[in-house]
Amino acid sequence: MKFSIHDLFGSSAYVRGAEVVLGLRRVSDGYAKLHFLKDRDGDLPISTAWGLLFDQEEGFRRDSSDGVVRELREELLDVLADGEWWTQNELRKPQAEGGVGADPDKVKAELDEMTIAGLLEFAVGPEGRRNDSKCWRLKWREAADATYATSPESGSQGEAEKRSGVVASPIGETSPDATPLDTERHATEVASEGDAT
């Protein structure tokens, strides 16, 4: 939702004669946005907003990271790397509390994009969580099957593959017990029928 001058409560006469109109929107505990809605002189950046941090001792101050382009996806992936279920609220918390310290709407949008892309899995009420909690976690890849471990070219592995247990896919010959694929079987049958005629 975009905050505008039309969202101000009351008569439009309040803002009609004003030289400057600012809007303060609370985003979360300790964080707000200062919106520049009107400036007759033209000195202020109209239709933009500054992020403001707030605490009881110092009051409001401009967020030094506001306007800095972040790699939110990378930050979220780093936090989610533990494989545990995380809620949006936990992920948006400040970095000192284990989150990424980002706007909840941006966190939600990024989580949705990563879920659609297949990087994350989403569940409502996973084991160990409340039944209604919406949670995300990093999607783990399936373990490699034993097919590649019996490759006749196992000596062609690199050092990193040997240490990690990942075996390269065989490119050369197929083993004598390999079953042809349906398409290969069909091509062989068609060729056999052609030879028979």
Tokens of 79: 């936090």
| 72-138 topology per CATH | Arc Repressor Mutant, subunit A (1.10.10)
What ranges do the domains of the chain cover? Answer: 9-62, 72-138
Q: At what angle do helices 72-80 and 104-116 cross, to 10 degrees?
A: 70
And the tokens for 146?
Answer: 């034993």
Angle at 161 between CA 157 and CA 162, to 5 degrees: 80
Sequential pLDDT tens for the chain (197 residues): 566 666 666 666 667 778 888 888 888 888 998 888 888 888 888 888 888 999 999 899 988 877 777 788 999 999 999 999 999 999 999 888 999 988 888 899 999 999 999 999 999 999 999 999 999 999 875 544 545 444 444 444 444 444 444 444 444 444 444 445 544 555 555 555 555 55
pLDDT (tens digit, 9 = 90+) per residue, 32-84? 988 888 888 888 888 888 889 999 998 999 888 777 777 889 999 999 999 99
- What torsion, rounded to 10 degrees, do the Cα atoms 190, 192, 195, 196 define? -110
- Predicted TM-score (pTM) of the model is 0.42
